[in-house]
Structure 1
Amino acid sequence: MLGLGELELKVMDVLWTAEDQLRVRDVLDRLSAERTFAYTTIMTVLDHLHDKGWVQRTRVGRGYRYWPVRSREEAGAHVLREVLDSSGDSESVLLHFAASVSERESELLRRALENGRGTP
């Protein structure tokens, strides 16, 4: 996602799939199946994600519990909105995007627009 590094995105994936708020240790444990990371690395990544507005946190004892500010889908829509707002020519960007969508995606967009811009 725009504005996220590779490790930040992996941490966000863990948070998006979690059913509850997670401690640094919880995130580290879920990532460890893939690769070994230092506790402080994950703590720093979560701190950066908090500073960037991707996660919220609450203090529990000496540490924090983290959770995403937006769902994965909402975050994707937010990134698209940022791209359109910063493009200088949102119409052109939308037209290029529309030319790249699949038939299924096109149908979803059509239905969403017919339903008053709500969810499909």
Structure 2
Amino acid sequence: MSETSPAQRRPSGELEASVLAALWAADGPLSPAEVQSALGGRLARTTVTTILTRLHDKGAASRSRAGRGFAYSPIQDSAGLTARRMRSELDKQDDRNTALARFVSQLTSEDEQLLRTLLDAADDTPQRPGTGPQAAP
């Protein structure tokens, strides 16, 4: 019998989030079998391997040869991955101004203040050559 029926499907991204959590909790790279074990053996190894391969293809995990297979490591922590996803979504927009304006308009006042503080701090940081406002054509 399968683990979940179609009526009990997991929310989108739940398995990837679980696998990433196992990678983040590890002290080093994990094989699919080790990830499976870290998740309590609830998933088939083929499912874990598929998820790890997808995470690698998306750039969320790196892999290195380990025997006949691979061992996987997260590329970024949770906050870094969230930032990367936000940037990816923004890059898909034809009208970045509107997308950013709508994002900012939905922030809580605390998040808005935090964003202002972060932007002010970024303005005070010396820019690398070829970046920042001076780099614009």
**2: CA distance between counterparts of 1:108 and 1:18?**
31
**CA-CA distance at 1:70 after TM superposition:** 1.9
**CA-CA distance at 1:51 after TM superposition:** 2.2
Deviation per CA, 1:95-116: give whole Å up to 9, x if none: 1111211222112111111112
Provide the TM-score with structure 2 as the length reference.
Answer: 0.72
**CA-CA distance at 1:13 after TM superposition:** 2.1
Gaps of 5+ in 2: 1-11, 126-137
Q: Which has the higher contact order (CA 8 A, sep 6+)?
A: 1
**CA-CA distance at 1:65 after TM superposition:** 1.3
> Are 2:74 and 1:94 aligned?
no
Partner SS state of residue 53, structure 1? coil
> Are 2:25 and 1:17 aligned?
yes
Structure 1 counterpart of 2:117, which letter?
R
Match of 2:34 in 1: 26
Structure 2 counterpart of 1:42, which letter?
V
**CA-CA distance at 1:28 after TM superposition:** 0.8
Partner SS state of residue 63, structure 2? strand
> Are 2:60 and 1:54 aligned?
yes
> Are 2:49 and 1:82 aligned?
no
Gaps of 5+ in 1: none
Structure 1 counterpart of 2:108, which letter?
S
* The structure with more radius of gyration: 2
**2: CA distance between counterparts of 1:90 and 1:17?**
35
**2: CA distance between counterparts of 1:95 and 1:69?**
30
**2: CA distance between counterparts of 1:17 and 1:101?**
30
Q: Percent identity?
A: 35
> Are 2:13 and 1:5 aligned?
yes
Work out the number of aligned pairs and report it: 113
Runs of 4+ more than 2 Å apart: 16-19
RMSD: 2.0
**CA-CA distance at 1:61 after TM superposition:** 1.8
**1: CA distance between counterparts of 2:46 and 2:89?**
32
